[in-house]
Structure 1
Amino acid sequence: MAAWQMEDIQRKLAMLNYPRANAPAQSLLFAGMERYALLEWLFFRLLGDKSPFSQQTPQGDAMDRDEETSRIQYLAEIAKFLGITTTIDTEAIQVSCSVPSILNISILGRGSYEDRTEMLRLIVDLVEASIYADNPEWSIDEQIAKDIQLIDSIAEKQAQIFSEECKLFPADVQIQSIYPLPDVSELETKLSEQSKILLNLQQKVDDLASKVISTP
């Protein structure tokens, strides 16, 4: 399965015009210059023209330890900037992505062959999505416009989508609204105000009741 997936990844890399798409799969998945060069190439396709990072061009086919450490750190910072990792995770650059919700990776971050393949597939798919529209007849701008329209539509109907009537989620799953919760002190102030209003109304009701009773 992983071997077939890697073939598909390399086919997509060739379609994206990556110059080393036919490099051995092992060299693209495991720590080394080939992997770092691929990640940098993919990252800069995602960053676009307004990248805050400058692309590095290593000299020769080998790096000493300091150069490799520097490059790993640099790629980890880009991955964090892109949101691929939640922290500047140098281990993710060398092995696999440490995103527990997506991949099953040990606590040391030592991803299996399948994990590494899945990590690379996710990044390649992101690059492909940023370059090609879902429908060949659409431009990228049209694709983005349709995606935004879909998101807006979902946002407008959020209350309905997450309502109990729709029953989209099991009863034991609690859905927290995206709207910010009010401050506790603000709630206490409003409660105090409503309590005063209620007390005032209660006094008026009591006054009226006493007048009715005293009237012959």
Structure 2
Amino acid sequence: MKVFIPKQHGAWAMLVIPFILGMFAGGADVKHIPLFCGWLFLYLAAFPATMMVKKKNIVYYQKWVLVYGIPAVVFLLISVWLEPRLVFLGLPLFPLFLINLYYAKRNNDRALLNDIAAILVFSAGGLASFWMGAGKLDGEALFVFIQSALFFTGSAFYVKSMIREKKNNRFKLYSWGYHVFLPFVSLAAGAEWAVIGVVPSSLRAWFFHGRKLSIKTIGISELVNACFFMAVLIVFLLQT
């Protein structure tokens, strides 16, 4: 049986990076293992669930919802048993997932609002990871969440301006405008010198637009940019 793996490569960085940042900020613990496994399988189950609402190959996608959903439930139940208050974090994420289902049903998965809803869910992984390590949520947890959401929203603007919206001058201005303010908003959210983690995002949004870059090149450069962002924030978190 061929394994069904989502092909949205950018989502993998969104899944992993906030979680890692939350783990560094809150303190790594063996309890992160079942939490990450549950988080991973939840994403793997959520993707075929969004495909099911399109009413195409329902039986096929239903099978993969079960294949991934069952271990997701098992690992998340273990995590909730270890830290029961995580339930209160999961409840606000459900409406965001409904937004994803709505856009999937309308066959408009690439809508910016849909991307932002997914980014907020992925960024909340940092909150869960921090909570599991520190046993609480505080300003540092919120910092990880906000910085992750700001960074990946910028990535969404940039990728759209380079591919699907590359001929849309209005969207280009939206992307440029966002990236003008991104370092300042990041700084206002407590980044201090770690604001340099988002500076390459602004530079590539301005200087790469209009260049003929392949989708593969754009994807690889975004991965490198995301790794740079993560490395800078890890150093910053370890010093605070």
> How high is the TM-score relative to the length of structure 1?
0.29
More helix by share: 2
Which structure is richer in relative contact order (CA contacts within 8 A, separation 6 or more)? 2
The structure number with the bigger radius of gyration is 1
For normalisation by structure 2, the TM-score amounts to 0.27
